[in-house]
Amino acid sequence: MEGIMVVFDFDKTIVECDSDNWVVDELGFTERYNQLLNTMPWNSMMDTLMKEMHTQGITTDDIARVLKTVPIHPRVIPAIKAAHAAGCDLRIVSDANTFFIETVLDHLGLKNCFTEINTNPGYVDEQGRLRILPIHDFTKTPHECNNPCPPNMCKGLVIKRLLSEHNTKKFIYLGDGIGDYCPSLRLREGDHVMPRKNYPVYDMISSNPMLIRAKIHEWADGEDLERILQSLIQEDIIISSNGDNDNNVSRLFEFDCKLGVLPVISHRALPQTVCWRF
């Protein structure tokens, strides 16, 4: 394989919360959110809330200001920057929206690290109102996935496309939610999946880990994320160098200098048949 593609979820993976809920709560719309919840599809509800915020004088600048205070583990930013500096192709596959994600990434200085963001469209219309639409218009045609994906987005289909377009790359997928289970099933032997421990995707994978062909690496927080991701990248550098020790040392030294830390202790994947409890 040639190179690594690292695919991140956004909410509760890059940032430490659900960005939709963060904006709603911080701008004082929690009660209205609770009234609308379960009365319409999620994207329609968020679009309605953005309309009501606009009507009440809340601007997109106000929304961006709140997004810039979203919590993030301090080790996630250097982990992303180091992976990008090491030559990894970084992507995002998220059920958030472009406005929220790009605002946060711009603020953190991470936007240029990512080649592609796959998410629901979020844009400012001619009236200055933030609009949020589904990436897949399920009112016209369903995405026909039998896994527990939301109707507006099947992340597994995104991963299927990326695997087809970049089949020589090794994939590392990081996520936390139910929607991250389908892409985990799409990964191949030799790929890696990093489910966040004690989150829905971890529970789903652990219920039958033999369904996952990729190596499984659980993580609990940003420190784990950084350590495991760095270890997997270093491992690929060694393997892809085909025994060229001088080249190995040079590339590892370059990677560690970019990361700004000493080389990490090697990391082992969890044996699917031993370490998962049913």
Residues serving a catalytic function are: 9, 11
Q: Which amino acid is at 153?
A: M
Compute φ and ψ for 60, nearest 5 degrees.
-65, -25
- Tell me how far apart the alpha carbons of residues 247 and 242 are, in angstroms, rounded to a whole number: 9
Residue 100, burial from CB neighbour count under 10 angstroms (0-12, 13-18, 19+): buried
Question: Any alpha helices (H) in the chain, and if so which ranges?
Answer: 19-26, 30-36, 42-55, 60-67, 76-85, 98-108, 155-165, 181-186, 200-207, 222-240, 245-259
- Tell me how far apart the alpha carbons of residues 7 and 172 are, in angstroms, rounded to a whole number: 6
- Residues contacting residue 192 through CB under 8 Å, at least 6 positions apart: 170, 171, 172, 173, 214, 215, 216, 217, 232, 269
- Tell me how far apart the alpha carbons of residues 200 and 66 are, in angstroms, rounded to a whole number: 27
- Tell me how far apart the alpha carbons of residues 61 and 86 are, in angstroms, rounded to a whole number: 34
Q: Name 170's bridge partners.
A: 4
